[in-house]
Structure formats: structure tokens, C-alpha cells
Chains A and B, each alone.
Chain A
Amino acid sequence: MTVPPDPRAGVSRRSFLKGSAVAGLASTGLTAAATAADGPTTFGPGAHDIVLTVNGAERKVAVETRTTLLDALRDGLDLTGAKRICDRGACGGCTVLLDGQPVNSCLVLAIDAIGRPVQTVESLAQGDLPHPLLEAFVHCDALQCGYCTPGMVMSSLACLQQRGRPTREQMQHDLAGNLCRCGTYGRVFAAIERTAQAGGK
């Protein structure tokens, strides 16, 4: 999608970048941004192509500085497993792993994900066999409408990776940021338990 330049961007974006912790930006996947003579890479106004490392592959996507990682994944790369439900970090529906840690991708700027591995729910069904956690979700019927489920899956995956065999209290803690309106929580716990028992992470 082409977007016209944003007339209000520019100076403030440059100073924002200079002052922010986006160290190493120049060595990362920026492909279209101009490089200012006086130092750090500038970015904006308007959209630019960046390269994100998503599910092990380098993916080019056009973003603005204000584009969230969630929107870059959903609208730019058609990876729509992560959902936009509250857009405020309150529901966990957009959970992906960034550097192996679960994050609300609606609260992460796409440019802040440059050079860092992003793992989305789609990665769990890329091979011949789906990830054991997905099979456990299906077996335990840990979903109804399914809209929160990709976020639940990614938080569950992080819980398993970090804790091995989590207790019920640890699961409740680790999934506290994921809301489900259908009320699947109990069966999500069962799915995590089942995966842990089978040794799958």
C-alpha cells in the first residue's frame, strides 16, 4: 500500500530517533531511509521499507515510525494470527514472541523490532506436523470462538519455554494478560499441562 508523506513528520521524528534507544539502527534492516550525514539513520516522514525477522525469515515491509509491530504483521505481511482486540496492551490478543519473550505487539513499534527475532503463532504450524501445543489446544478444546486463541497460544508457549512444567498458579500468572470472553481459561491450563507432560515446548 502506498501512502503519501505525512507533512507533520520529519524534524520531530529525527530528534526522537536521536534521543531514543534505537541504537544500532544503522546496521539493521533499514533499506529505504535516508542516512543523514551527521550521524544516526533518519527515518520518516512517510513510509519506508524495513526488514523484519519473522519466524526465521527476513521479510520486507513498508512502515512509518508510528506503525506498530502488530499492524506491520497484520496489514503489511498478512500474518493475521495476532489479533487487534483492544489496541492498548490490555487483552493479550496480539501476543507474539520478541527475542523469545512474549510482548503485546500493539505496544511495540515496528521499527523497534528491526534486527530482533519475531515469532508469531503461524510459525507453530509451518512444518508437516503442528506444534504439540496446538494439538493440545485442539484436544482439550481450549477454544471456542477462537479469536483470543493465537494470543493464548503464544503466552502459553512462553510459559512452557520458561518454566518447563508450570504449576497452575504459574499458568494463571503467565496468562493474566490474555483475556477470553468465551471463558476457555480452564481448558487452556489443561492444554499447557498436557503439552508439558508430553515434554513439548
Chain B
Amino acid sequence: MTAPAGPRDGVEITVGYRGLGGMPDRLEARAVEPAEGDAPPWDANTPLRQVGGDHDRVDGLAKASGRAKYTSDVNLPGLLQAAILRAPIARGKLVQLELDAARAMPGIAAVVALKNVGSRVRFVGDAIAAVAGADLHRVRDALAAIRADYEVEPHNVDWLRGEDAPLLDADGEIAEPWPEAVALEGALALAATTHGATYRTEVQTHSSLEPHGATARWQGEDLEVWSSTQATFGVRGELAQALKGRGLRVGAVTVHAEYVGGGFGSKFGAGVEGLACCLLAHAAKAPVKLMLDRFEEHTTAGNRPAALLQLRGGLDAEGRLIAWDVRSYGGCGFNVERGDGGGNVAVPDYYTRAAKTRRKHTDLPADTDPARAMRAPGHPQGWFGAELFLDELAHKAGIDPLELRLRNDSQTMRQDQWRFGAERFGWAAARARPNAPDARFRRGVGLASARWSQLGSAGRPPHGVQCRIHRDGSVEVRSGAQDIGTGLKTVLALIAAEELGIDPKLVQAFTGHTGDPSGPGSGGSTTTPSLSPAVRHAAFLARQQLAGFVATHLGADAAEIDCRDGTVGTRTQRLAWAEACKLIGPNPIDVRGQRFPNYGGKPFSASVCGCQFAEVEVDTWTGQVRVLRMLAVQDCGLVIAKKLAESQVLGAMLQGISFALHEQRIMDRQSGRMLNGDFLRYKILGSADVPELDCVLMTVHNGHSSTPAAGLGEPPAVAAPAAVATAVFHALGEPVRHLPITPDKVLAALARRA
């Protein structure tokens, strides 16, 4: 940790990674050009004491003890409760809306229309009006008293029944010819082994446990909002825009999201619920809380869209992919043009470098709640189809699935991960172990790759972090971005502590308040890589100021002062941290660090790599699938908070199992309504379903920035469903190509095999 880099000074750093478990190191020197004034880069040779250690989550006790106040927990004097009237029809027009009866009811403080008469209704659950009152009982009574009439039109809630949907045969295979493609068909004709099949996944709801919603309070012209969101600044701008007719400007809006009960991609906006809450609080002249109930969560607050993929491809005699043809469809809900995550389906591109390829995707609308981004949008669906397809192709060619990956995967880092993971998992032995032909329980093992291609906001816009050092020795770091459970507060605290050479317990981290420097929305696994260099820069600037005080005190040159092990000083004269901080005046050292653009040039890696292995046991009598154990090998850039990073990977594996085996939205074609919009009939994975999980993090110095962290929201979520599905294929000897792999589908597969 030396003086800041000068303008366009080239700095040589060591990038890459150390080999896991006896694998070779992949380290190399790179010249990078840090921006003027930025903190010098931490690279593979920098000794770090706090970062990467086994620290506790800094807000763990606040959360576990119930002390943490989420949006839903905010109680204000005179607080009113509120709820939304939802359309009972899937398609049509609102032709009458009578609110006066509701307004006149006892205990009701405000009623607002959310749709004008004449507006279109686009799905069951479309917001019509909202009511605020003394308590939710009275509010619900008032909702029932609102008269809303509709002009009903025929609807279609089944995305595969629309006019553009492909025709499926009785086995669920797309029964339409592929459009002509001369080069690709030439490659297929040359292939030693070819295969083609259709794969399908169902709608998964985000099911964040804290519902969407807000608490809002107006004070004169100012609006203060607590929002359960993964984008504090996004919500602020959205509300200011929506309410500008009331003279509201962005600067008068404060958004809090100090604690957020999950988001997973569904909470980027204030939503109609947030806006309704503000309108009601304005009309009632009192603070209002409006949180969705669980049915609204399942039916109006976003989902991972259903997907359909058809693949065909071929291997040459050496097991190399030489042809790869993919067409996919995604159910995006009613908003086919706008797309909010859309029906996008992504497939891996690193197996097919030697292949003739073609890729086509079509979004298919239906009269349902629009899709939203959900943890690695499009990826778990597409990877499930692609990886299971590869296993079927390997099976036909008589090649081990791992061997097929090793022959085709063009990413060196994942090649290392495959080899390390296979060894640790005991792949070869588990794969070779036969199931007795008449055994009730059959076991199988599978694997799948992962890739995520975003590594932070890259410094545009230049998000910031505030750092203050107080004369009592305490340190404060602040970001207006939100910690939705991913551990941002802990990440900020550990990096500041590392830079300042102090115990992380001296650092308090604050997140989720728009009064603090702007940060990104928590999407695309970008929060940690965006803000790690920013907090590092803030602490770096603060340290320089402290060094100035200490240099004056010691009569030394400020350039000779460093901070380490809780002391500050020169090589020969050192002050304890607390003593050094006493030199600070009544005003704290108060600086703002920024996220500079990524280093130019070619980084060591531009994406995040991983792979996962799974072992399952299938009960051939009941069709029940149980995952017994899983392993994730995961690149995550510079590991900041080890325990928290592991938690995120482990959780993504469980969400993936849940998607692979349990979750599906079931719509009633007649009424257009979701039939299982609760937690009794929409099953998410529970404690009884948890297998043995193993997770190996791989620190990779990607050479992007001074503090080269990667995010872990999406990367570990990509592979898990595919790993489970390929293991089920191994256990049964027959693929189940339609998630979730429920008992009926397993029994049908067994019947096909017999």
C-alpha cells in the first residue's frame, strides 16, 4: 500500500489464480493503468489480513434478534394500513369504478383509483384502486365495498396456446421442421453422433419472504419512503417522476431500505404498490404502510418466465461438437414489447467454438403477470436444456459426460474447475457404480457448468462511498445502495478495515439510505464489484488525511506513514490507532471515494466461471427424487467475506434444487387465476429437502480494478437445476426434459424405459 498511482503510470500486477488442490497456478503479470488518485491495486501477491477472512456478518445479530427494522416493520405514530383492489379478470376493460361507498366507511382515511375508467385490464391481479384505513380488517371491508365493473374479453393465460406458439406433439417435442440452414445441416451430416430434443421449464415466482411494499410519510413537500427494494435510487427517481404533478422533485424524496427481506430480481422499482402507498399517504395526510399479501406476491410481483428450447447438434468421431442449433421461446406475460426481464433464454457459448451454430429466440405473450429479472435471468432455464442435451448426446456417443465437457469447454479456468471438482466429488467412482436392475432406489450423478458475464458497473456512473474517521477511533462507511442479504455492509466494513489496518469491529457500515452516496441497484451481481473499489478508495483517501495528522505530530514525512495492525506511523515511530485518531479535530475526517472506470486493456477474465456436481436418489415406486449431495466450485473474483460468499453459493444451490424439483405456477385457463398462489400449494424447498452441500470458492484476480471482487447473486444460480436434471438422467437411464421433475414425470420416464 504505497502512494497513489500517478497519471497514466503503468503498474505491473499479478493476475490469475492459485491452483485448487494441486492444480497448477495460473498467474501472470499484467501492466495496468490505474486512474489518477485511485488506490493502488491489490493483486495476487498482496498480503491481506481481513479481506477473505472468516468474519461474521456485521448485521447478523441485528437480524437474528429481530432488532433489524425492515420496511414491513416500520411503525410510525398514526400509521394507517393499506391494500389494493385487484382485477378478477385476465383481459378486458374497466368500465365503472365507484369509490364513494368505500370512502364513507368507518375507519377509512383515503381511497384512490389506480386505473382510470376505460383502461385495459391485462391480467388477474392488475391494480384497480387502493384503500388506507385504521387497520387491515377495515381496509379489506372497504375494498369489498368498491364497485368495479369490467368489459370482459376472451383471455389466454397459457403461453403455449397463443397463435405464435410452436406446435408440440404428445411427448412435448416441438413438432415443426427447423428452418433451413445449409452450413449447419452440412455439419450435422458429417457428425458421427447426432441428437435432437425439446426441453421445458415452468414459471417460478421469486417468493421473496418480505413482500413488496412501502411505508410512506409526507412532511410538507417532502416525501419519506421505506421501500422493500433492491434499488434505492431507482425507487427515488421513479416516485419523483410519478408524483411530479404534485410538485415533487427528486431531492425532496428520501428512500430507506436499511434492511430488505430478499429480492432476487423482483424489487427494482417502487411498483404500483409503492406509488399507491405514497398517493394514499398524501390523500390521508397521515403515514401509510402498504405491503402485498402472499397471493399478490405470487401473482403480481414478478416471476421467472417459463421456457421452451429445442436443440439439435452433432459430435464428430473425437467427441467434439461440430453442430449446435438452438431455438427457444419464453413466456413473458402480457408485456411482450416492454419486457421487464422478458422471456429471455440464455445458453452456454463456450462448448461450441468448433461448431456451426444457430440461435433464435421468440417471446410469447399471455394474459398473465409480466416476467421480471430473476437470479441469472434466462440462464437456469437455458443451461438446464443445454447441459441435459449434452448428456444425452454423450450417452449416445458412449462418452462420459465429464469427458465431453473437457473436450469442448473452451475456458481454461473451468477446465481446471471440472478436474478439481470431479476429484473432490468422486465423480469417476460414483458414475461407474451400477444400480441393481430391480432396486427400488436408483442413484445417479450429474454435472453442469456456469458462467456469468457481468463484473460490475465498470465505473460508469462513478458510484461513491463515504468514509469518516472520528476522533474516538471509530470509522463510518456509508453507501446509499442496499444490502438485500448479499452482505454489502460486511463487504464495505472489511475492505475499509483492511485499508486502514484496523479491526473490522471499529468500522460501522451503513447502507440503504438515499442521503448517502449513490450506488447501483442490486442486479446482475454488480453491487460488490461496483462498490468494493469505491469503499477502498474512500478508506485510502481517509488514511492519507490521517497520515497527514500523524506526520505533523511525529515530525515525519507523510509519505512514510502507514497503517497496519491497529497502529499508525513510520517504520520506527508508531502510534496506537486510538492515539492517532485523537489528533483528528472535532470534525471527523470525511471523504468520498469513487468507483473509477475499469482498468483498460485485456483483463485476466471477463466473466465468472463455475461448475456443480450433484448426486440424486430416485424412488422408483413413488417417483420421488431426493438430492443427496452437491458440490459447487465457484470463481468469485477476490473473496471479501468468505462465510457470506459461501452462504450465497449454498443458497443458490438450494434455490436451484427447488426450481428443478418443486416449483411451478399453475394457472386456471378458465378463470385466468393462479391456483397455487400461496406457500401451501406453491412448494419451495424446505428443511427436510436439504442435502449435504459442499462449496469451494476460488479467488481470481481478474485485473479489473484496485479491489477486483465479483458478485455472487447469479453465478452459482446457473448450474444447479441442470446438475440435478443430469443426475436424474443418470439414475433413470431416461431423461426428464420438463422441469420441475415431479413424481408423475419420473414414473412416466420409467414407464418409457420399461
Contacts and interface: CB of A to CB of B under 8 A. Distances in A.
Interface of A: prevailing SS = loop
B604 interface: no
Contacts of A84: 72, 291
Given A82-B66, A137-B64, 15 more contacts: A4-B134, A5-B106, A7-B106, A86-B679, A124-B65, A125-B65, A135-B61, A141-B60, A141-B647, A144-B647, A146-B261, A179-B684, A181-B262, A182-B647, A183-B685
Nearest to A142: B64
Q: Which of B65, B75, B79, B293 has its CB near the most chain A CB atoms (within 10 A)?
A: B65
A196 B678 CA distance: 34
Interface stretch (A18-26, A31-39, A109-117, A168-176): A168-176
Nearest to B62: A146
A71 B291 CA distance: 14
A69 interface: no
A43 interface: no
A182 B716 CA distance: 13
Contacts of B64: 121, 134, 137-138, 142-143, 146, 149-150, 153
Nearest to A143: B63
26 contacts: A1-B134, A4-B107, A64-B137, A74-B75, A80-B66, A80-B75, A86-B294, A120-B66, A138-B57, A143-B64, A144-B262, A145-B484, A145-B485, A147-B210, A147-B261, A178-B686, A179-B684, A181-B209, A181-B264, A181-B655, A182-B651, A183-B685, A184-B651, A186-B650, A186-B690, A188-B687
A133 B67 CA distance: 15
Contacts of B652: 183
A187 interface: yes
A176 B686 CA distance: 6
Contacts of A4: 106-107, 134
B485 A179 contact: no
A2 interface: yes
Closest 9 CB pairs of A and B: A81-B66, A145-B485, A146-B63, A147-B261, A183-B651, A183-B654, A80-B73, A138-B60, A144-B485
A39 to B, nearest CB: 27
A78 interface: yes
B61 A182 contact: no
Contacts of A182: 262, 485, 647, 651
A130 B209 contact: no
Nearest to B260: A145
B688 interface: yes
Contact of B207 (A130, A178, A181): A181
B653 interface: yes
Interface in B625-662: 643-644, 646-648, 650-655
Contact of B135 (A3, A5, A121, A122): A3
Contact of B61 (A122, A125, A188, A189): A125
A9 to B, nearest CB: 10
Given A64-B137, A183-B685, A134 B61 contact: yes
Interface in A63-86: 64, 66, 71, 74-75, 78-86
Contacts of A85: 209-211, 294, 679
A84 B261 CA distance: 12
A71 B134 CA distance: 13
A58 B687 CA distance: 35
Contact of A88 (B259, B294, B487, B690): B294
A98 interface: no
B134 A2 contact: yes
A98 B56 CA distance: 31
Contact of B107 (A3, A138, A147, A171): A3
A146 B56 contact: no
Nearest to B680: A90
Interface residues of B, number: 64
Interface string B484-510: 111100000000000000000000000
Contact of A146 (B107, B259, B679): B259
A173 B688 contact: yes
B69 interface: yes
A122 B65 contact: yes
Contacts of B79: 1
A86 B60 CA distance: 23
Interface in B149-200: none
A139 interface: yes
B650 A147 contact: no
Contacts of B75: 74-75, 78, 80
Interface in A16-67: 64, 66
Contacts of A71: 136
Interface residues of A, number: 65
A92 B107 CA distance: 31
Contacts of A181: 207-209, 262, 264, 655, 684
Contact of A145 (B56, B137, B209, B687): B209
A149 B262 CA distance: 12
B657 to A, nearest CB: 9
A180 interface: yes
Interface in B209-258: 209-211
A141 B65 contact: no
Nearest to B692: A186
Contacts of A122: 65-67
A80 B72 CA distance: 9
B684 A141 contact: no
B425 interface: no
B72 to A, nearest CB: 7
B113 interface: no
A148 interface: yes
B693 interface: yes
Given A3-B134, A86-B294, A144-B485, A183 B66 contact: no
Nearest to B75: A78
Interface in B73-116: 73, 75, 78-79, 81, 106-107
A171 B137 contact: no
A91 interface: yes
B711 to A, nearest CB: 14
Contacts of A74: 73, 75
Interface string B687-713: 110100100000000000000000000
Interface in B345-395: none
Interface string B41-70: 000000000000000110111011111111
Contacts of A145: 208-210, 260-262, 484-485
B138 interface: yes
Contacts of B684: 179, 181
Contacts of A87: 293-294
Interface in B284-333: 291, 293-294
B138 to A, nearest CB: 7
Contact of A186 (B137, B211, B693): B693
Given A85-B210, A138-B57, A144 B68 contact: no
A145 B70 CA distance: 10
A176 B684 CA distance: 12
A93 B294 CA distance: 13
A148 B60 contact: no
Nearest to A152: B64
B647 A180 contact: no
Contacts of A139: 56
B370 to A, nearest CB: 21
Contact of B655 (A3, A143, A183): A183
B679 A147 contact: no
A80 B485 contact: no
B210 A83 contact: yes
B607 to A, nearest CB: 24
B209 A180 contact: yes
A66 B141 CA distance: 13
B294 A172 contact: no
A71 B397 CA distance: 61
A78 B644 CA distance: 30
Interface string B462-504: 0000000000000000000000111100000000000000000
Contacts of B262: 144-145, 147, 181-182
